[in-house]
């Protein structure tokens, strides 16, 4: 009689044991399916995320941050790329932040500026993509043509070596001054061979050149800062750099250690994609020109 009573208990215990194993397997399946789902929040279209860590990119607001946000909103997720876009309002801090490891890449500078800063500050950076050109222009609040520039006019120019030389080359190319060496990449006002209008030059930080128009008669302004100041290079500039053969392309820059990082490689590809080219052409209408 006791043996008969024990049999149901044995079967009940076995059933409970099997049920517990089934719950354990179900939990394991749930955990395994949950982890990939969390990782897949960074991508669509079935591709795996390139990394769990977002790519930290420093850039100046216009057009660099705007272009990066277009990539972030329209292209990056599909490519499995996460971007942490950090905005800077000058040309100094993005390189310092990259050197100190606070950024993985930056996007704001030209080859001349990169070369000048590398020599002056000992940076060891590499360019991984030519993205776009922002023609440098000469602007004024009151003067409407080169012919109207008065004798003794005050001209504000960027104070960093690369952009200062670039500004003077622009004036030389348009017959406003004559440099001893029209191709000089290190020209300063001391290298002006002929200044027929006796222009007076004031060196200011590049980011401040639009504001300098309140005090100076003229200012040579980088394309990105002109756009931020709601100036239209194509319409408002008295003279503007040529796009064809312009060596002042804006670069995606990183360190040698990160040059082959899949995130860097993918961002470089996206910045030179047909989608970004179309965005630049439609958004900026000649004020910014795709390099690719």
Place of tokens 């439609």: 282
Q: What is the pLDDT of residue 244?
A: 81
77 Cβ contact partners less than 8 Å away, ≥ 6 residues apart: 42, 43, 44
Q: What is the pLDDT of residue 4?
A: 39
Give me the sign of the Cα torsion angle 32, 38, 42, 46.
positive
What are the distances in angstroms from CA 271 to CA 7, 252, 264, 279?
Answer: 72, 9, 11, 11
Which tokens hold the place of 120?
A: 């002056």
Closest CA to 59 of 95, 111, 100, 15: 95
Closest CA to 200 of 210, 215, 221: 215
Q: What is the pLDDT of residue 10?
A: 39
As a whole number of angstroms, the distance between CA 170 and CA 178 comes to 10
- Please state whether the peptide bond connecting residue 63 to the residue before it is cis, i.e. omega within 30 degrees of 0: yes
Q: What is the pLDDT of residue 7?
A: 39
Phi, psi of 283, deg, nearest 5? -75, -40
As a whole number of angstroms, the distance between CA 21 and CA 172 comes to 83
The sheet with strand 105-107 has its strands ordered as 83-87, 55-59, 105-107, 249-254, 126-133, 289-290
Indicate the fold that domain 55-135+247-290 takes in CATH: D-Maltodextrin-Binding Protein; domain 2 (3.40.190)
Indicate the fold that domain 137-240 takes in CATH: D-Maltodextrin-Binding Protein; domain 2 (3.40.190)
Q: What is the pLDDT of residue 47?
A: 55
Q: What is the pLDDT of residue 292?
A: 67
What's this model's pTM, rounded to 2 decimal places? 0.79
| pLDDT tens over the chain, length 292 residues | 444 343 343 333 433 343 333 333 333 333 333 333 333 333 334 357 898 899 999 999 999 999 999 999 999 999 999 999 999 999 999 999 999 999 999 999 999 999 999 999 999 999 999 999 999 999 999 999 999 999 999 999 999 999 999 999 999 999 999 999 999 999 999 999 999 999 999 999 999 999 999 999 999 999 999 999 999 998 999 999 988 889 999 999 999 999 999 999 999 999 999 999 999 999 998 899 999 6
The domain ranges of the chain are 55-135+247-290, 137-240
Place of tokens 């930080």: 205
CB-CB contact of 183 with 173 (8 Å): no
């Amino acid at each position: 009689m006791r043996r008969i009573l024990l049999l149901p208990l044995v079967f009940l215990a076995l059933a409970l044991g099997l049920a517990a194993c089934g719950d354990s397997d179900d939990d394991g399946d749930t955990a395994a399916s949950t982890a990939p789902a969390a990782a897949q929040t960074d991508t669509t279209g079935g591709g795996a995320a390139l990394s769990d860590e977002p790519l930290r990119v420093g850039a100046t607001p216009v057009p660099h941050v705007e272009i990066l946000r277009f990539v972030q909103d329209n292209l990056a997720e599909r490519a499995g790329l996460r971007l942490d876009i950090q905005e800077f309002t000058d040309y100094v801090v993005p390189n310092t932040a990259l050197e100190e490891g606070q950024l993985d890449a930056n996007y704001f500078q030209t080859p001349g500026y990169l070369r000048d800063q590398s020599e002056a500050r000992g940076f060891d950076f590499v360019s991984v993509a030519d993205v776009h050109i922002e023609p440098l222009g000469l602007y004024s609040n009151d003067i409407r043509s080169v012919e109207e520039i008065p004798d003794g006019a005050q001209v504000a120019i960027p104070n960093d070596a690369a952009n200062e030389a670039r500004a003077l080359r622009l004036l030389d190319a348009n017959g406003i001054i004559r440099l001893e060496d029209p191709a000089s990449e290190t020209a300063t006002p001391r290298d002006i061979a002929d200044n027929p209008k006796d222009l007076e030059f004031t060196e200011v930080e590049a980011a401040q050149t639009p504001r300098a128009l309140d005090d100076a008669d003229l200012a040579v302004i980088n394309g990105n800062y002109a756009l931020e100041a709601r100036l239209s290079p194509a319409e408002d500039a008295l003279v503007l750099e040529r796009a064809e053969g312009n060596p002042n392309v804006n670069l995606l820059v990183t360190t040698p250690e990160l040059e082959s990082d899949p995130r860097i490689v993918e961002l470089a590809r996206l910045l030179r994609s047909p989608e970004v080219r179309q965005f630049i052409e439609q958004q900026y209408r000649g004020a910014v020109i795709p390099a690719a």
